[in-house]
């Protein structure tokens, strides 16, 4: 499983990983962007495993070094070399603490999250079990069991609720509410890189990522390297009106409205879209507005 974490960008090897596979040529800019994101996923996963999988031990080691250096500074006041060492060790400790806190900030047990206590494992098990939907009542009030049967029940419920895609389109009334020539020219104006950057920057880092598992923080931290690739992909979409499924793919998440819901309408659906898809949507919305 892969999910980008902002703390990776603080590691010294992060920049090398990001720039290693930048020279990618594909049929379209959007193909190039998707291929690039797929290629850096493996080294980023390796970076996390080698340097961020033991944050608890890193905290203990990083906390010990500043204490020892602070004692040496007290014994040797005025020693600039030891003072600089102490400052560097303290900054590293603060960075590690900040990274671990960012990972836990969404969890209600943040106060006890660092300790491998019974509370930690009980809470983790509770969250995992609460996400399972094994039994559910269908529209005929009958009980269905099994993940596959529950999935079919959910699918039919939302298909009936939202309806199927219409194959016919109604004619557009061209007599009233027609755009002026100036408005039409404004609507056709190309999006500049600065427009794309502002749209992407408006997406908070902590927003749940889409199927590609990259948050907006990844593109913000790597904008100097990936900005041109992102802008080319977005601009290419507005020129060709073509979007790859890797970009438009969406995760459909069901959030319980109540405890232990028994019916499909007891869940609130949300969609988690990829950052590039969100960025394009924001640009369209801003232009129409």
Q: What are the distances in angstroms from CA 119 to CA 48, 60, 97?
A: 25, 21, 21
Answer whether 21's CB lies under 8 Å from 228's CB: no
- The residue extents of the domains of the chain are 24-112, 135-162+182-288
Answer whether 248's CB lies under 8 Å from 288's CB: no
Which residues sit opposite 267 in a β-bridge? 256
Strands 135-137, 250-256: pairing kind: unpaired
Which helix (H) or strand (E) element contains residue 202?
none
Global pTM reads 0.70
Count CB atoms within 10 A of the CB of residue 148: 9
Provide the pLDDT for residue 43: 92
Provide the pLDDT for residue 3: 85
Q: Tell me: the pLDDT tens digits for 25-46? A: 778 899 999 999 999 999 999 9
């Amino acid at each position: 499983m892969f999910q980008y974490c902002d703390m990776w960008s603080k590691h010294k090897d992060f920049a090398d990983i990001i720039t290693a596979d930048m020279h990618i040529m594909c049929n379209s800019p959007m193909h190039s962007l998707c291929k690039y994101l797929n290629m850096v996923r493996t080294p980023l996963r390796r970076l996390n495993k080698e340097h961020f999988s033991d944050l608890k031990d890193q905290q203990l080691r990083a906390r010990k070094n500043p204490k020892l250096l602070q004692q040496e500074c007290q014994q040797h006041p005025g020693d600039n070399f030891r003072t600089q060492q102490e400052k560097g060790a303290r900054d590293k400790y603060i960075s590690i603490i900040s990274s671990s806190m960012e990972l836990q900030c969404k969890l209600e047990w943040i106060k006890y999250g660092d300790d491998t206590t019974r509370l930690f494992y009980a809470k983790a098990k509770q969250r995992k079990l609460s996400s399972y939907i094994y039994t559910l009542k269908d529209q005929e009030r009958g009980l269905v069991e099994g993940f596959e049967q529950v999935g079919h029940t959910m699918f039919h419920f939302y298909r009936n609720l939202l309806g199927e895609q219409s194959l016919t389109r109604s004619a557009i009334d061209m007599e009233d509410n027609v755009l002026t020539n100036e408005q039409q020219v404004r609507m056709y104006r190309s999006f500049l890189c600065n427009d794309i950057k502002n749209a992407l920057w408006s997406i908070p880092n902590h927003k749940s990522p889409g199927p590609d598992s990259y948050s907006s923080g990844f593109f913000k931290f790597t904008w100097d390297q990936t900005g041109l690739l992102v802008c080319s992909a977005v601009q290419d979409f507005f020129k060709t009106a073509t979007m790859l499924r890797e970009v438009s793919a969406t995760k459909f998440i069901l959030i319980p409205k109540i405890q232990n819901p028994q019916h499909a309408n007891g869940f609130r659906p949300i969609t988690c879209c990829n950052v590039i898809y969100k960025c394009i949507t924001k640009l369209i919305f801003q232009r129409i507005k």
